[in-house]
Amino acid sequence: MEDLLKKGGVFDGIAGVLIRSFFMGVALQLVWFCSILFGAGWIRTVSSQWFGITPREFEIFNYYGMAFLKLCLFMFFLIPYLAIKMMMNRK
């Protein structure tokens, strides 16, 4: 177990993947937010034609979708990253 905790071990590689995945997810959420902020009218029109949803349903889907994405990013990427880093710094 001690060999895996050394610098350059498996856990260090996993931590690198987790933090990169977290930042890519945050970038995705930022793109999603900006597209809704600046292009909501066009996206709402296309969505209502394709799926037959009301503007209120469109807002609810996007709000809950962004909240779900943020929850998943924290739960599956940031918290495991922090746990691995804390474990690696423990002596």
- Alpha-carbon distance 91 to 33, whole Å? 42
Is the pLDDT at 10 greater than 60? The verdict is yes
Please, what is the average pLDDT of the chain?
91
The model's confidence at residue 35, banded by pLDDT at 50, 70 and 90, is very high
Domain interval for residue 60: 2-89
Amino acid (1-letter code) at residue 35: S
Whole-structure pTM value: 0.85
Domain count within the chain: 1
Which pLDDT score is estimated for 53?
93
Instruction: Give alpha helix (H) positions in the chain.
Output: 2-5, 10-51, 55-73, 79-89
Q: Which residue has the tokens 């809950």?
A: 64
How much is the average pLDDT of 43-71? Answer: 95
Which pLDDT score is estimated for 90?
83
